[in-house]
């Protein structure tokens, strides 16, 4: 049934990710990170929003990115959930973190300033070859994308090849600009698909 395709893909890729070993996660995270480095130049004082990985869910190890950004003097921001919405909090090596009700580490501080982000690196379970993404199904990042400037680069990072089309994407689903994979990157800017594979 078409209306359930997103939920079926969500279940499929949750299962596939759960089956990964810690060695798989480390190896593929490194490959995805290296692809990111090949494709994107970051510079001092850029503003980048990124997520902390939930290791129990075998999410990509974004600490590779965060440590690199700090060395480059990039301003790093991470999400915090407030009233079922994402706010973006500055993240530094001494930022105090605590587990939220979902068991996710987030800043203790609620101080969020208006920021012109250069990039938002977003978590996802799956994305297709048109830039449609599937997250955990709560719509948090779609709403967050709606709150930032349109020119911000929306970058998905994922383990899995974009082989299946998400046919039931709706008007509230905001597409990615780029999808970084272990063996290449897809760009969805400027119409037709570009692949750097």
Do 85 and 115 contact (CB within 8 A), yes or no? no
Region label for 184, one of left (φ > 0), alpha (ψ between -120 and 50) or beta (otherwise):
left
Q: Find out whether 48 is annotated in a ligand binding site.
A: no
Q: Find out whether 36 is annotated in a ligand binding site.
A: no
Q: Find out whether 135 is annotated in a ligand binding site.
A: yes
- Cα 27 to Cα 121: distance, rounded to the nearest angstrom: 19
Do 95 and 127 contact (CB within 8 A), yes or no? no
Q: Find out whether 14 is annotated in a ligand binding site.
A: no
Q: Find out whether 117 is annotated in a ligand binding site.
A: no
Q: Find out whether 184 is annotated in a ligand binding site.
A: no
Q: Find out whether 9 is annotated in a ligand binding site.
A: yes
Q: Find out whether 54 is annotated in a ligand binding site.
A: no
Q: Find out whether 7 is annotated in a ligand binding site.
A: yes
Q: Find out whether 134 is annotated in a ligand binding site.
A: yes
Q: Find out whether 139 is annotated in a ligand binding site.
A: yes
Nearest alpha-carbon partner for 125 in 99, 88, 164: 164
Q: Find out whether 153 is annotated in a ligand binding site.
A: no
Q: Torsion angle of alpha carbons 57, 61, 62, 67, nearest 10°?
A: 140
Q: Find out whether 8 is annotated in a ligand binding site.
A: yes
Q: Find out whether 131 is annotated in a ligand binding site.
A: no
Q: Please give the annotated binding residues, written as ranges.
A: 6-10, 52, 59, 133-141
Which residue numbers belong to the known binding site for substrate?
52, 59
- Summarize the annotated binding site for ATP as residue ranges: 6-10, 133-141
């Amino acid at each position: 049934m078409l209306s359930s395709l997103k939920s079926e893909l969500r279940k499929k890729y949750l299962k596939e990710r759960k089956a990964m070993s810690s060695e798989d996660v480390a190896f593929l995270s490194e490959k995805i990170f290296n692809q990111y480095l090949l494709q994107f130049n970051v510079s001092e004082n850029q503003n980048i929003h990124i997520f902390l990985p939930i290791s129990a869910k075998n999410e990509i190890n974004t600490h590779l990115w965060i440590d690199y950004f700090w060395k480059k003097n990039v301003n790093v921001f991470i999400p915090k959930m407030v009233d079922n919405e994402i706010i973006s909090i500055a993240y530094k090596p001494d930022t105090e973190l605590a587990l939220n009700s979902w068991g996710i580490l987030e800043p203790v501080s609620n101080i969020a300033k208006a920021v012109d982000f250069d990039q938002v690196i977003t978590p996802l379970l799956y994305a297709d070859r048109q830039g449609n993404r599937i997250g955990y199904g709560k719509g948090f990042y779609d709403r967050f994308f709606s709150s930032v400037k349109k020119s911000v680069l929306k970058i998905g990072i994922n383990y899995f090849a974009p082989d299946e089309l998400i046919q039931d994407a709706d008007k509230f689903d905001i597409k990615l600009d780029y999808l970084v994979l272990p063996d290449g990157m897809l760009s969805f800017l400027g119409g037709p698909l570009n692949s750097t594979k």
